[in-house]
Amino acid sequence: MQSLGLADQEQVLNRIGYLRWHLGNEIGNRWWELQKQGYSADFVEQVERLVLTDTEFDSNKLQLDAMHK
């Protein structure tokens, strides 16, 4: 997105955070495993490197639990 001039660094980081939220749980991770076959190898590599590396897969559960205390 940055290299095409479509987003600045803040927007890219925002998108990464958004994807971490949606893919950072058991259901989102299973969905990605099924869906990634429809994307290019480069795109899959970028998602897995930028989004899923070091993602705690219970992060959105922890955030929701904290909001309800």
Asked if the structure places residue 2 within a domain, the reply is no
For 21, residues 6+ apart whose C-beta sits below 8 A from its C-beta are 59, 60
String of DSSP letters for 15-59: HHHHHHHHHSSHHHHHHHHHHGGGS-HHHHHHHIIIIITT--TTH
pTM above 0.85, yes or no: no
Q: How far apart are the first and last CA of the chain?
A: 38
Asked if the structure places residue 4 within a domain, the reply is no
How many domains does the chain divide into? 1
Q: Which domain holds residue 26?
A: 9-67
Asked if the structure places residue 15 within a domain, the reply is yes
Asked if the structure places residue 3 within a domain, the reply is no
Alpha-carbon distance of 37 to 45, in angstroms, equals 12
Give 6-53 pLDDT, tens digit per residue: 668 888 788 888 888 888 888 888 899 999 999 999 989 988 888 888
Give 48-63 pLDDT, tens digit per residue: 888 888 766 676 677 7
